[in-house]
Chains A and B, each alone.
Chain A
Amino acid sequence: MAHGHSAEAAAHAPAGGHGEGVQHPIRIYLWIWLLLFVFSTFSYLVDYFQLQGMLRWSLIIIFMLLKAGFIVAIFMHMAWERLALKLAILVPPLALLVLLGLMAIEGDYTFVTRLQSFVQQLQTPGEHHKVPEYHPGNP
């Protein structure tokens, strides 16, 4: 394999880190590629065999995180970047977990209030015929 180290790579070498322009053997990419194929197949099989409940959700998330991790770390070279860049890019998205949590709570609340409202409409005596059609499928 031709090792035409770029000027940048040579310049970064004294720092001991894998700076930009560092060459990894093609083999690494082929291995990661294969791994991503395997994980994708596994997550597809979760649906194919119709696994349900917690098992389904945890498997989907595990395979998803594994795939995402390998893409970011190896394909996007994040594994060889300086910690300062890693933190600057990887920490801010954690704020999304807060949004996720808040919106999950909010979604539950909306669901429950909708149900309550529908049940109240159904239970109002003598007003059965006034129940509004909320089903868009039935005009």
Chain B
Amino acid sequence: MNHESTSAALPAVPGYSEEGLKGVSADWSADKQAFPVPWGKAMMWIFLLSDTFIFSCFLVSYMNVRISTTEIWPNPSIVFGLHVFGRDIPLFLIALMTMILITSSGTMAMAVNFGYRRDRGKTAALMFATALLGVSFVSMQAFEWTKLIVSEGVRPWGNPMGAPQFGSSFFMITGFHGLHVSCGVIYLCVVAKRVLSGFYDRKGTYETVEVAGLYWHFVDLVWVFIFAFFYLW
């Protein structure tokens, strides 16, 4: 993969200096690479676009069943509340999970930054920190699922608190998101290990770290929407 030569040649392509709409038409119409970014980054963006549609379908179908059910929708504020510090705090675990995911996004953004500074140690350390935060997020989700299934009796086909659609939406949406986080943890560990081994120094570019970062930030982004629509609505 010879990114250097491709990238270096780009500014010479006619129209590249154009900005705004002229730049769009130049980028699309010329007989050249449409997106002046490494191919891995463009492909990751396109994958994330398709993933956006998948998660949106889940969230829209959740909206649909929530509108159309004739039964009371269980109050997430109470269902996901936790009894800590001697009192009931609404959505305690979810708030904590949200903060953890945001923090992991912050450490990932800094990892990308240190990657471009060729700081191997800090990049890998921050990526492992991100993965560790991801693991703690999934663990808390596992705790939440256990609590819901074992103590609250929530099933995909029904629950004692109201509309049966609550369970199916919940397990589908958070399950798919948790799967993304778990895959992300593995992905980050693989890339971080390569950072440590000097693989990207030999390759001459740290763009793989940024591509992994895009995926991780997307996972955080999806959680922003799940938090708003499923837990707070």
Contact = CB atoms under 8 A, between A and B. Distances in A.
Given A83-B19, A84-B27, A64 B224 contact: yes
Contact of B232 (A23, A43, A110): A43
A81 B95 contact: no
Interface residues of A, number: 73
A131 interface: no
B160 A71 contact: no
A4 B69 CA distance: 58
A20 B115 CA distance: 12
Contacts of A60: 228, 232-233
A61 to B, nearest CB: 7
B206 A82 contact: no
A93 B106 contact: no
B8 A96 contact: no
A79 interface: no
Nearest to B94: A44
B37 A104 contact: no
A115 B70 contact: yes
B68 A110 contact: yes
Interface string A46-76: 1110100000110011011001100110111
Interface string B25-38: 00110000011111
Contacts, number: 211
A3 B28 CA distance: 33
A11 B16 CA distance: 13
B56 A99 contact: yes
Contacts of B220: 71, 75
Given A43-B232, A63-B228, A136-B158, A111 B70 contact: yes
Given A61-B228, A75-B105, A26 B91 contact: no
Contacts of A76: 213-214, 217-218, 221
Interface in B71-116: 71, 77, 90-91, 95, 98-99, 102-103, 105-106, 108-110, 113, 116
B217 A103 contact: no
Contacts of A115: 70
Contact of B68 (A29, A30, A36, A107): A107
Interface stretch (B45-53, B181-189, B190-198): B45-53
A67 B218 CA distance: 12
B7 A12 contact: yes
Interface of A: 1-4, 6-9, 11-12, 14-16, 19-24, 26, 29-30, 32-33, 36-37, 40, 43-44, 46-48, 50, 56-57, 60-61, 63-64, 67-68, 71-72, 74-77, 81-85, 87-89, 92-93, 96, 99-100, 103-104, 106-108, 110-111, 114-115, 118, 135-137
Given A4-B117, A71-B221, A88-B34, 15 more contacts: A2-B118, A6-B205, A23-B116, A32-B109, A36-B102, A44-B98, A47-B232, A63-B228, A68-B225, A75-B220, A77-B210, A84-B27, A92-B49, A106-B64, A118-B70
